[in-house]
Amino acid sequence: MSVTRRFLGRISLVSLVVLAACSTPKPPPPPPAPPPPVVPTIRPTPPNNAAEGMSLPTKDEEGAYLTPNRKVTSNTALWHVRMALNVAALNCERYGSTARLQYNQILTVHKAVLTDANAAVDRNYKVAYGRAGVGSREQLNTIVYNFFALPPVIKSFCPVATAVGTKILAMPSGALLAYAPEALKELEKPYQEFYAAYADYLRRLAEWQSRFGGTVTVVVSPTPLPPPPVPPGEAPPPGGWSPSYTTALEKAPPPPADAPATPAPSLSGPPPVVPTLPGAAPRLMEQPLPTPSE
């Protein structure tokens, strides 16, 4: 009995050893997946260190941004140029004193034409708005000053202002009205370029937000600016328009009243020649005899 029990115990021990040798351990669990690579990206920022969420003007039919300098007469354009150069004189000192010195010279050299332009603009508002003309003009003047004093554009505006000031000082006063619309367009160019750059920033910001998990909250200008008021047209001066000689006939004005009269062409002259018919004898014209009084 004891032998059998001992034998069975040995068999059980051998079986356990065999089973232990046949069994294989489970492999360890796989390591966790590595995190996705971090894509380096920079959030777009406004141009020229401008503030976020700025409002932009709407565009006209030609794609230009609406500004207070649109649809102006020559006198109004010249006065807006003067205001723009005034802004340059006050804000461009950090880049040198050229703008300030130019502005003071322009006020002295072209005083007469600037005074006439100011009077013409006043007259335009008075004719268009009556008693409200002064307030309407002051309102637009404030808008024009604020337009040219936009902080993010001053740095690029100052060299343009000094270039325009140099041209104005080099020309006679009589040429200022004709140059004013072109000068105003040159002075406005940095602002048109800034608005376009800011609109591009808003587009890139929306794309960045959509790609990197941000909420797309900006697509266009947050609150588009309303169109600025349009200045009135040119009103006739108190004495009416002075005539201008524009046609070839009008370019030769009539002589003054005290000029000596031009003698009328003489009606007397050689007697007319009467053609003769072929084969006919020539006939002489009979001349009248002078009277004794002659």
pLDDT of 208-260, one tens digit each? 888 876 655 544 555 677 788 888 888 787 766 554 333 343 344 455 555 55
Note the pLDDT of residue 4.
56
Q: Who has greater pLDDT, 39 or 104? A: 104
> Do the domain assignments include residue 135?
yes
What is the amino acid identity at position 65?
Answer: Y
Using CA atoms, how far apart are residues 244 and 251, in angstroms rounded to an integer? Answer: 9
Residue 184 has what DSSP assignment? H
| Contacts with 10 (C-beta within 8 Å, 6 or more apart), sequence order | none
> Do the domain assignments include residue 96?
yes
> Do the domain assignments include residue 221?
no
Q: Who has greater pLDDT, 266 or 126? A: 126
Note the pLDDT of residue 160.
98
Beta bridge partners of 59: 65
Q: Full-prediction pTM beyond 0.85?
A: no
Using CA atoms, how far apart are residues 117 and 74, in angstroms rounded to an integer? Answer: 8
> Do the domain assignments include residue 214?
no
Residue 195 belongs to what domain range?
74-209
| Contacts with 88 (C-beta within 8 Å, 6 or more apart), sequence order | 99, 103, 148, 157, 158, 161, 162, 165
Using CA atoms, how far apart are residues 93 and 46, in angstroms rounded to an integer? Answer: 25
First to last CA, the chain: 197
Beta bridge partners of 225: 57
Residue 169, pLDDT > 50, answer yes
Using CA atoms, how far apart are residues 89 and 132, in angstroms rounded to an integer? Answer: 30
Mean pLDDT of 166-170: 98
- Do 15 and 184 meet the contact criterion of CB atoms below 8 Å apart? no
Residue with tokens 């890139």: 204
Residue 82, pLDDT > 70, answer yes
Note the pLDDT of residue 33.
83
Note the pLDDT of residue 213.
66
Mean pLDDT of the chain: 80
Q: Indicate if the alpha-carbon torsion angle 169, 173, 174, 180 is positive or negative.
A: positive
Query: Per the structure, how many domains does the chain have?
Result: 1
> Do the domain assignments include residue 199?
yes
- Please report the DSSP string for 143-194 in residue order: HHHHHHT-GGGHHHHHHHHHHHHHHHHTS-GGGHHHHHHHHHHHHHHHHHHH
Using CA atoms, how far apart are residues 103 and 162, in angstroms rounded to an integer? Answer: 9
